[in-house]
Amino acid sequence: MNAFKLDGRDIPFEPGQTILQAVQAAGQEIPHLCYHPDFKPHGSCKLCSVRINGRMVSSCTAPAHDGMTVESDMPDINEERRTLLQMLFVEGNHFCPSCEKSGACRLQASAYELKMMSPHYDHFFPDRPVDASHADYLLDTNRCILCSLCVRASRDVDGKNVFALSGRGIHTRLIVNAKSGRLGDTDFSGEDKAAHVCPVGAILRKRVGFAVPIGQRPFDPPHEGD
């Protein structure tokens, strides 16, 4: 059987699987944000970076090879992941105390898991207008981490092509494919896969915020003694 070593543990894999796919199939995890099992990998967040023969690769795109040795849960690698998270936090307006996604946000949960105590860098404080034109959903791209999951879901699953990433460099942002650029002028709906894949608080359903008690949100820590 094909297998490789992840931090000293044997991980079996099927030919064609990526490192991350094999690790997840074996019931283990590597931190990640832009990877989702239902979509082709994107490779933008870099959080799933692992080390093979001294070289960093994205485990969501790198194919598994028999007999290779992969390092993931190492202090220096986790330090780099923390740095990536800090970069994402300062690039956006991540004011968790008033975000409806707090406690259910993968960016935030990743920061907790990797013990990010502060964003460290100077803040960008971006100023992109909130799009509340849609009857049931709102779009705050100041929280968007450009994972492109909504782009992939809308294009590849919903067949609607509502979203796209546009611009270059730090000006890259999520846009809506309508002449007006407004979500309300598309056929986007709550039935869409794209309405349910945002890992952060960029795409939010209206009028359901703060319904889940603190302590019961998906990523809330378990109570002591649980």
Q: Which residues is 175 bridged to in the sheet? A: 164
Q: Which stretch binds other proteins (CB under 8 A): 2-10, 53-61, 112-120, 179-187?
A: 112-120
CB of 125 to other proteins, least distance (A): 4
CB of 99 to other proteins, least distance (A): 7
Q: Is 216 in the site for other proteins (CB under 8 A)?
A: no
Q: Is 120 in the site for other proteins (CB under 8 A)?
A: yes
CB of 75 to other proteins, least distance (A): 14
> Of 13, 35, 39, 89, which one interacts with other proteins (CB under 8 A)?
89
10 Å CB burial of residue 59 (0-12, 13-18, 19+) is buried
Q: Is 210 in the site for other proteins (CB under 8 A)?
A: no
Closest CA to 147 of 34, 3, 20, 15: 34
Number of residues near other proteins (by CB under 8 A):
28
Q: Is 170 in the site for other proteins (CB under 8 A)?
A: no
CB within 8 Å of 54: residues ≥ 6 apart: none
Nearer residue to other proteins within complex by CB, 65 or 125:
125
Q: Is 95 in the site for other proteins (CB under 8 A)?
A: yes
For 154, phi then psi, to 5°, come to: -70, -40
> Of 118, 191, 213, 216, which one interacts with other proteins (CB under 8 A)?
118
Nearer residue to other proteins within complex by CB, 1 or 117:
117
Yes or no: say if 172 and 122 are a contact pair by the CB < 8 Å rule: no
Give the three-class secondary structure for 69: strand
Helix/strand/coil (H/E/C) assignment for every residue in 87-126: HHHHHCCCCHHHCCCCCCCHHHHHHHHCCCCCCCCCCCCC
Burial code (b: 16+ CB inside 10 Å, e: under 16) for 114-123 equals bebeebeeee
Q: Which stretch binds other proteins (CB under 8 A): 16-24, 102-110, 181-189, 200-208?
A: 102-110
Q: Identity (one letter) of the amino acid at 223?
A: H
Give the three-class secondary structure for 135: coil
Nearer residue to other proteins within complex by CB, 44 or 93:
93
Chain residues in the site for other proteins (CB under 8 A):
89-90, 93-99, 102-103, 108, 111-113, 115-120, 122-123, 125, 127, 221-222, 224
